[in-house]
Amino acid sequence: MSDDDTPAAGPTPFERLGGEPGVRALVDRFYDLMDLEPAYAGIRALHPADLDGSRDKLFWFLCGWLGGPNHYIERFGHPRLRARHLPYAIGIAERDQWMACMVQAMDEQGIDNALAQRLAEALYGTADWMRNKGG
């Protein structure tokens, strides 16, 4: 409890992941895996040859989404993620590859299981909403 008797909010997921260095390490692992693992070749093919820009954008976005600084919004305004993904054909297979890649990255980064599961559930909602084609 703080001085004015308001319950402490507790650390944000951003803080629990280790702030910017932790989020950056997670994003880098995510895109390294996308590059390396044949299971994610389908979504890798949708991305540019050079992943540097994708790494930066996902890092900036996730910092804010996790309760940290709003780097993405400061640079690009409202995320409009569904609209920004319309140029890429995303169906169930792509959604599931993205989620599997993120779950593997969180596991390999040693993120606490309960936190990883909570984040995966929230990310699934976003990933599912990004679908823009049948199948």
Name the site residues for ligand HEM (rule: CB under 6 A). Answer: 43, 46-48, 53-54, 57-58, 61, 76, 81, 84-85, 88, 90, 94-95, 98, 123, 126-127, 130
Give least dist CB 1 to ligand HEM, A.
34
User: Alpha-carbon distance 109 to 131, whole Å?
Assistant: 27
Give least dist CB 67 to ligand HEM, A.
14
Residue 61 CA to its chain's centroid (Å): 8
Who contacts 91 (Cβ-Cβ below 8 Å, separation ≥6)?
131, 132, 133, 134, 135
Which of 5/92 has CB closer to ligand HEM? 92
Which of 16/99 has CB closer to ligand HEM? 99
Q: What are the φ and ψ backbone dihedral angles of 24, each rounded to 5 degrees?
A: -60, -40
